Structure 1
């Protein structure tokens, strides 16, 4: 008996194509979120990446506010906020405010990676007197601080011999759901220890998935907010009416990831036709084999085969939910304020 398709959600890095401005990319993200909302997806998360020509998702709280206002019922969240880049109070204030504005619809996914190059990371963390040098090593402490400050009771801070209350918002009636994100065992262990739901970034790594999820489940300790392990898996997906079209649509993002893995200069995401021209001219053998290895970890195909692949992936890893990262690129001449291939991916999967 074939495996059942689990609950589906969406991860959006807000890609910027060679035919788009930042404003176009944001307009396309808004339409994609509306597509996911209408199609019944459970949640829609945006990532945090900086100083990248092909990614407009630099500020999750700002994007979440925009997308929440443009949708009706879908949960909005971060996939994730890279906590070492920010003061914990700032993150707690931002998401407590979002939860107050859109109660019951906000998720705070937290990650530990920089989400950028070393120079940009320095500018984020220290350029204006920001967080301290050991922000990464203090990640567990910062997660605890964010969680406490968003609660209605807040947290007591000891300063000069006295205790001072610190709350992210004056009178919280609900709090965002906190998720820990990771592509290694570090966040799996921390999420288990703190009794938080866990997301494995299968879309980025594709390796070590089973081991990280097993570590999380085996070490899980129930918390006041979560009684048993809760898991989510992200995966790169391109769906089209035919498998051939899906393969074409996936090519621009495959080349984007190939460039990232091989240290090539980052550029805006190419159109399908431009990507095909590059591949037709010939890739170095090592690059071609790397591209094919990445492609095998992605879900690319017609609706029926894509649904079957996602169901099998979810069953294999025993996850409660799959978060689709729609990677279908654009054909030359398509509306720059829409992401036709990405919208099609979500619509066909949910049909």
Structure 2
């Protein structure tokens, strides 16, 4: 029998109706501490903006808070949306995380904005109709600078640092504080572009299977076939992200994911992403056939059911994509009588799968 894959957790820090951001963070803090105790490999948070349903806006700040009380799980971003930030700002935030947590930090980088175009401009200091321009007044697209900005971050995190020429001579620049163990940089993507870039730079790569559900096989093959060994990696390294929910029965598990189905439908239909609805009548009262059709187009890539059913689906996915690690995104929603500062169904998913995969508890 093949060895069971390692398990990790992706957390978007969902916010449900009536819940504050602080209460959502408290629920996620319980989740990461459980994952740390249960033997999960990584815990990553994402970057999204201007979305009432998502509290995860600044991975570095969140990880500094959520990582307190953990001792062995890797903490990372899934990911930092690099066009929204300067390379030095990103490098320094993750250098601080390394100073606090040692060699347990992952820096996942993506080139999508993680929000709508107007909010993305506002993040870069250009509200309204403002535009980013260079010294000559020409429009600048930070997405086009993505490869160079990755190279800048890698240099800033390295012992040698980065350097550039000035009128006064060569100027050296390091991410502060300097640390012995820099964050491990990963490239994230939902298309072949990032797969090719990661392969060319010799970096580890993760395709957004939990969000896309399509194109994973082609992207992973492109990455592996194109990989060039560099100082950042000698061989391809990747894992799979999967939406997952565990219930006492198959029917209960599918009931638990309906709030997520509704949210994904709203996102794809362009009706806005409000705070997450509750399991049961609250979500069923607003669910439309359009929302259900969106869900049906996606959920064959999800792992939903009893603990045994979900574990079997995850093992099949690991074998199909030839990966030794799976990162689950727990999508089980909350019931109306759940504690407002906890996420019992998400926590149950993490605990149940740890048992199915015989993870090493602390």
2:352 corresponds in structure 1 to 348
Give the TM-score normalised by the residue count of structure 2: 0.92
1:281-339: CA deviation from partner (whole Å, max 9, x where unpaired): xx23x443222122222110101110010010111111231110000000111101111
CA displacement at 1:19 relative to structure 2: 2.8
CA RMSD of aligned residues (A): 1.6
Residue 95, structure 1, aligned to residue 78, structure 2? no
CA displacement at 1:157 relative to structure 2: 1.5
CA displacement at 1:130 relative to structure 2: 10
CA displacement at 1:218 relative to structure 2: 0.5
1:243 corresponds in structure 2 to 250
Out of 262, 267, 275, the position equivalent to 2:283 is 275
Q: How does 1:116-135 map to 2 (within 5 A)?
A: 116-127=115-126, 133-135=140-142
1:331 corresponds in structure 2 to 335
CA displacement at 1:171 relative to structure 2: 3.4
1:243-282: CA deviation from partner (whole Å, max 9, x where unpaired): 1111111110111001000111321000002113334xxx
Residue 176, structure 1, aligned to residue 183, structure 2? yes
CA distance in 2, matches of 1:269, 1:159: 51
Q: Secondary structure at the match of 1:16?
A: coil
1:32-70: CA deviation from partner (whole Å, max 9, x where unpaired): 111111111000000000000100000000011112213
Q: Is the 8 A contact 2:5 2:326 kept in 1?
A: yes
Out of 313, 316, 336, the position equivalent to 2:317 is 313
1:300 corresponds in structure 2 to 304
1:256 corresponds in structure 2 to 263
CA displacement at 1:170 relative to structure 2: 4.9
Residue 40, structure 1, aligned to residue 39, structure 2? yes
CA displacement at 1:161 relative to structure 2: 5.8
CA displacement at 1:191 relative to structure 2: 0.4
Unaligned runs of 5+ in 2: 134-139, 356-362
CA distance in 2, matches of 1:225, 1:114: 25
CA displacement at 1:131 relative to structure 2: 7.2
Unaligned runs of 5+ in 1: none
Q: Is the 8 A contact 1:179 1:198 kept in 2?
A: yes
CA distance in 2, matches of 1:118, 1:134: 12
Structure 1 pair 175–288 and aligned structure 2 pair: CA distance change class (3 A): same
2:57 corresponds in structure 1 to 58
1:78 corresponds in structure 2 to 77
CA distance in 2, matches of 1:151, 1:347: 37
77-86 or 152-161: bigger deviation: 152-161
Q: How does 1:17-36 map to 2 (within 5 A)?
A: 17-36=16-35
Q: Secondary structure at the match of 2:242?
A: strand
Give the TM-score normalised by the residue count of structure 1: 0.95
CA distance in 2, matches of 1:287, 1:51: 21
1:88-120: CA deviation from partner (whole Å, max 9, x where unpaired): 000001101111111111000000000001111
CA distance in 2, matches of 1:49, 1:96: 22
Q: Secondary structure at the match of 1:136?
A: helix
Q: Is the 8 A contact 1:254 1:294 kept in 2?
A: no
Residue 217, structure 1, aligned to residue 224, structure 2? yes
Q: Secondary structure at the match of 2:213?
A: coil
Q: Return structure 1 stretches of 4+ with deviation > 6 angstroms.
A: 128-131
